[in-house]
Structure 1
Amino acid sequence: MSLPLRSTIAALVAAAALPVAADADRERENLARLEHELALLASEVRAAKADAPSITRIHFQYDNLARDLDLIRAGIADHLDAPRHPRPIEPLKGDYRR
Structure 2
Amino acid sequence: MHPSFRLLPFALAIAAFAPFSVAYADDDRERENLARLEHELALLTREVRAARGDAPTRARIHFQYEDLARDLEMIRAGIADHLSAPRQPRPVEPLKGDYRR
After TM superposition, is the score higher than 0.5?
yes
Which one-letter code corresponds to 1:67 in the other structure?
Answer: R
Alignment of 1:49-64 (within 5 A): 49-64=52-67
Which stretches in structure 2 are left out of the alignment for 5+ residues?
Answer: none
Match of 1:82 in 2: 85
TM-score by length of 2: 0.84
Q: Is 1:6 the equivalent of 2:6?
A: no
Classify the secondary structure of the residue corresponding to 1:54: coil
What is the rounded CA distance, in whole Å, between the counterparts of 1:3 and 1:66 in structure 2?
A: 62
Which one-letter code corresponds to 2:84 in the other structure?
Answer: D
Q: Which has the greater radius of gyration?
A: 2
Alignment of 1:1-98 (within 5 A): 4-93=7-96
Which one-letter code corresponds to 2:83 in the other structure?
Answer: L
CA shift for structure 1 position 89: 1.8
Considering Cα pairs closer than 8 Å and 6+ residues apart, tell me whether 1 or 2 has the greater RCO: 1
CA shift for structure 1 position 15: 2.1
Q: Kindly report structure 1 stretches of 4+ aligned residues shifted beyond 4 Å.
A: 92-98
CA shift for structure 1 position 18: 1.6
- 1:36-71 CA-partner distances (Å, limit 9, x unpaired): 000010000001000000111110000000000010
What is the rounded CA distance, in whole Å, between the counterparts of 1:71 and 1:57 in structure 2?
A: 28
What is the rounded CA distance, in whole Å, between the counterparts of 1:3 and 1:87 in structure 2?
A: 29
Q: Tell me the C-alpha RMSD between the 2 structures.
A: 2.0
- 1:17-49 CA-partner distances (Å, limit 9, x unpaired): 221111110000000000000001000000100
| Count of paired positions | 97
